[in-house]
Structure 1
Amino acid sequence: MKPNDDGKGLRQRGTFLIWGIPMILSLCGLVMIASLSLRNSMTGGNPYALPLKQFQFLGLGMTAMVCCVMFSPQALRRHCGLLWLVSLALLWGTLIPGLGLRAGGARRWISLLGFNFQPLEVLLFTMPIFLADRMTASRREGLDAFVRPTLLVIFLSVLPLMLQPNLGGALVVIGVCCLMHVESRGWKYPVLGGILAFFLIAFLIWQAPYRMRRFYAFWDPWSDPTGKGFQIIQGLVAFANGGLTGVGIGKGLQEDRYLPEAQTDYVFPAIGEEFGLLGTAFLLALYALWTWRAYRIYRRSEDPFLSLLALGMAASVVCPMFLNLGGVMKLMPLAGVPLPFISAGGSSLLFMWAKVGVLMAVDRTLRGRELGMEELPEVSGRQARRES
């Protein structure tokens, strides 16, 4: 077998991992949501309503993935400014009475054309495309490069999120933008900005009573086990109940009576109870493998736009994952963001799959360029790309 054949086989297996792992995660989420929905049958509700809805959005998500694969990254780049402005308009729309929906004291949802969705997910899809384009086109350096476009994009994106309010979503936006800036211009100013953001976030937590309750719950949940610390304690109890192998699917006690938001924010502790340490370790390994594969796509590209685009799309999946897992495992205050591909929620699932499609489109473009370079036997791949 030729050496090039081995390389092609590795690339094909890598492409499978980019969509195959999210498929496994999404199916695990469907199984878990179906298990958690069994309680509805005891109260007269339809136990199949939520799993069916999630399955429909999985189909829509895969359709979105196929559409994104069919579009070249350059085609998305040509319309990135309009896409980002539309996502900002939708974010502001959540604050308009009658258009935005209030739930849990916040306006994070919008009702449009008979559909309810979360505009943050639209923003986390369009913003990396727009920022990758602006960073690639910009010739600014130093502080000026951080202020424009990075800090400007952060400010315009985070402002409506803070008015909703949605601190968890704002943290994801800041994390994605700063990671992209580090890749493009270096780490100096994002680190300085991060220090200032830490004090600003501490002030925002201090001045908002509900955020202070979340912080106290994180710091010492056992000081008020039936109040502000109830949710995080029950999540830890769910992990403890699961042990090594879990109590079995559909047999979790916490999810049925004690664990709030078991289908969304706290789906990971529910998985820990039913499938144990082995089940949660399996999911963490899948996330780690997917992150490694996305990182490989990012590292392969010598095109600045494609490299930044791949990094931004991967970061917009990985950052919510860390915030969710850190919150439910008491490693950080709960941010209220869903677990990618697993938590119940159509908006998140749909746009997570769209990001998978963009990563596949980047990978396809890179493979096309690499195959073109292989036709030049006297020139190495890196040298050929530089000369092209």
Structure 2
Amino acid sequence: MRAFDEGERSRVSGPWLIWGIPLVLSLCGLVMIASLSLRNSMDGGEPYAQILKQARFFVFGLVLMVICALTPLKLLRRYGWILWIFSLLLVSLTLVSGIGIKVGGARRWLALGHVRFQPLELLLFSVPIFMADRLDRSRRSGRQAFLRPTLTVAFFSVLPLLFQPNLGGTILVTGICLMMHAERQGWSYPLLGGFLMATIFALLIWMEPYRMRRLMAFLDPWSDPMNKGFQIIQGLVAFCNGRIFGVGIGKGLQEDAYLPAAQTDYIFPAIGEEFGLVGTLLLLSLYAVWTIRIYRIYRRCTSPFLSALTLGLTTSVIGPMFVNLGGVMKLMPLTGIPLPFISAGGSAMIFMWAKVGILMRINGFLNREEARHASFEGMPRR
């Protein structure tokens, strides 16, 4: 227990697990995207277009990780509010006709030349940085601390998301703010806020017919198996086909246009079909080991700002994983959130690696602080 609490600094304070596990996850995602792309290109399309595109995003994400790992934490904290406001501006621009791209009835994308960009990912990157700074600077407590800054930041962050509409993004941003507040002030008001949020979401679902149809498809997908329940059913069929060890890479039947969004939101069922229960459990174990490694960094944090920032960044990575897995495994309604490091998509891949870079910077900062403290204690006293 002592080794876990103190982080076993001599053995686990290195950064290789912080970036090594996401690297393995990203490579697994590239393999699956390549498999899906090759099978779905039999209609005459370019077989390597999707994998080459994702590989470019992967390389760019690694570059951004290095940049973030070299960025001083003081500089990141000083300009965090600018990054937050800029991300809110971009999210709001998706609502402007002619600028935002409407896909599937929602405006969540911006077009940058031939590349689509989802500002939500930048918002999920900036909110933990800005919130950590606000919580550290705030001298309020109790209800006042929950109202300002937590509820204020959460409200302005999710307001444009509600108009897109983006219920999954709203859940993630609100969850990050509540978790960071609980780390500093306790769980009383976050639990109350979570209950109110659930009530508001229930009203939003009831007010929109398409959300009600999606909820009904979640509760009973077999009532409309060829329309609203088709994707959920095919995802479950993919898991069943995989059984224990899977059917083998490139041999999944669900890849042949049976499973919609197999490269993005539904890549986990595709992995389950090709690699079986063993493959999916191995994948989940990688997320678990990474979370434990980051938790050890969190336990070593020497300031409230670093503690809140580490927790917020970790929540912004692990939260989407739970939302995605809950949707594809029929544990919660679908929200269109990709699986971190694995699903096809440039915005999520790039900013996930940026978060890894900041966590590496925090780990390096703590290592230097601990080394300085150890050398000071080892100095001979006069």
For residues 318 and 272 of structure 1, the distance between their equivalents in structure 2, rounded to whole angstroms, comes to 19
Give the letter for the 2:210 counterpart. Answer: Y
For residues 232 and 9 of structure 2, the distance between their equivalents in structure 1, rounded to whole angstroms, comes to 47
SS in structure 2 at match of 1:149: helix
The residue correspondences of 1:73-84 to structure 2 (distance < 5 A) are 73-84=73-84
The residue correspondences of 1:299-318 to structure 2 (distance < 5 A) are 299-318=299-318
Map Cα deviations across residues 193-226 of structure 1 (whole Å, 9 max, x no partner): 1111111100101111121122111111122222
SS in structure 2 at match of 1:363: helix
The residue correspondences of 1:66-215 to structure 2 (distance < 5 A) are 66-112=66-112, 115-215=115-215
What is the deviation of 1:114? 5.2
Q: Structure 1 residues 250 and 228, CA, compared in 2 at 3 Å: closer, same or farther?
A: same
Give the letter for the 1:175 counterpart. Answer: G
Give the letter for the 2:273 counterpart. Answer: E
What is the deviation of 1:377? 3.1
For residues 82 and 114 of structure 1, the distance between their equivalents in structure 2, rounded to whole angstroms, comes to 27
Q: Is the 8 A contact 1:73 1:306 kept in 2?
A: no
What is the deviation of 1:113? 5.4
Q: Is the 8 A contact 1:317 1:352 kept in 2?
A: yes
For residues 116 and 165 of structure 1, the distance between their equivalents in structure 2, rounded to whole angstroms, comes to 18
Gap regions ≥5 residues in structure 1: 380-388
Give 2:242's aligned residue.
Answer: 242
More moved, 220-229 vs 348-357: 220-229
TM-score, length basis structure 2: 0.95
Q: Structure 1 residues 114 and 34, CA, compared in 2 at 3 Å: closer, same or farther?
A: closer
Give the letter for the 1:172 counterpart. Answer: L
For residues 262 and 140 of structure 1, the distance between their equivalents in structure 2, rounded to whole angstroms, comes to 47
SS in structure 2 at match of 1:130: helix
Residue 56 of structure 2 corresponds to residue 56 of structure 1: yes
Percentage of identical aligned residues: 61
SS in structure 1 at match of 2:165: coil
What is the deviation of 1:257? 2.9
Q: Is the 8 A contact 2:39 2:250 kept in 1?
A: no
Give the letter for the 1:130 counterpart. Answer: F
TM-score, length basis structure 1: 0.94
Give 2:223's aligned residue.
Answer: 223
Q: Is the 8 A contact 1:246 1:274 kept in 2?
A: yes
Map Cα deviations across residues 128-148 of structure 1 (whole Å, 9 max, x no partner): 100000000000011110011
For residues 118 and 7 of structure 1, the distance between their equivalents in structure 2, rounded to whole angstroms, comes to 38
Q: CA RMSD in A?
A: 1.5
SS in structure 2 at match of 1:102: strand
Give 1:385's aligned residue.
Answer: none
Give the letter for the 2:13 counterpart. Answer: R
For residues 294 and 213 of structure 1, the distance between their equivalents in structure 2, rounded to whole angstroms, comes to 39
Give the letter for the 1:265 counterpart. Answer: D
For residues 188 and 87 of structure 2, the distance between their equivalents in structure 1, rounded to whole angstroms, comes to 29
Gap regions ≥5 residues in structure 2: none
Map Cα deviations across residues 135-181 of structure 1 (whole Å, 9 max, x no partner): 00000011110011110111101010010010000000011110000
SS in structure 2 at match of 1:116: strand
For residues 294 and 301 of structure 1, the distance between their equivalents in structure 2, rounded to whole angstroms, comes to 11
Give 1:256's aligned residue.
Answer: 256
Give 2:17's aligned residue.
Answer: 17
SS in structure 1 at match of 2:245: coil
More moved, 109-118 vs 59-68: 109-118
For residues 7 and 159 of structure 1, the distance between their equivalents in structure 2, rounded to whole angstroms, comes to 42
The residue correspondences of 1:356-371 to structure 2 (distance < 5 A) are 356-371=356-371
SS in structure 2 at match of 1:174: helix
What is the deviation of 1:11? 1.2
For residues 53 and 249 of structure 2, the distance between their equivalents in structure 1, rounded to whole angstroms, comes to 20
Give the letter for the 1:293 counterpart. Answer: R
Q: Is the 8 A contact 1:110 1:116 kept in 2?
A: yes
Give 1:384's aligned residue.
Answer: none
Q: Is the 8 A contact 2:265 2:336 kept in 1?
A: yes
SS in structure 1 at match of 2:228: coil
Give the letter for the 1:146 counterpart. Answer: F
For residues 339 and 235 of structure 1, the distance between their equivalents in structure 2, rounded to whole angstroms, comes to 14
More moved, 113-122 vs 325-334: 113-122
For residues 34 and 346 of structure 1, the distance between their equivalents in structure 2, rounded to whole angstroms, comes to 15
Give the letter for the 1:286 counterpart. Answer: L
Give the letter for the 2:200 counterpart. Answer: L
Give the letter for the 2:62 counterpart. Answer: M
Map Cα deviations across residues 3-35 of structure 1 (whole Å, 9 max, x no partner): 99x7323212xx111100000000000000000
Q: Is the 8 A contact 2:40 2:255 kept in 1?
A: no
Map Cα deviations across residues 307-331 of structure 1 (whole Å, 9 max, x no partner): 1111111100011000000110111
Q: Is the 8 A contact 1:255 1:270 kept in 2?
A: yes
For residues 334 and 50 of structure 1, the distance between their equivalents in structure 2, rounded to whole angstroms, comes to 24
Report the count of equivalent residues.
374
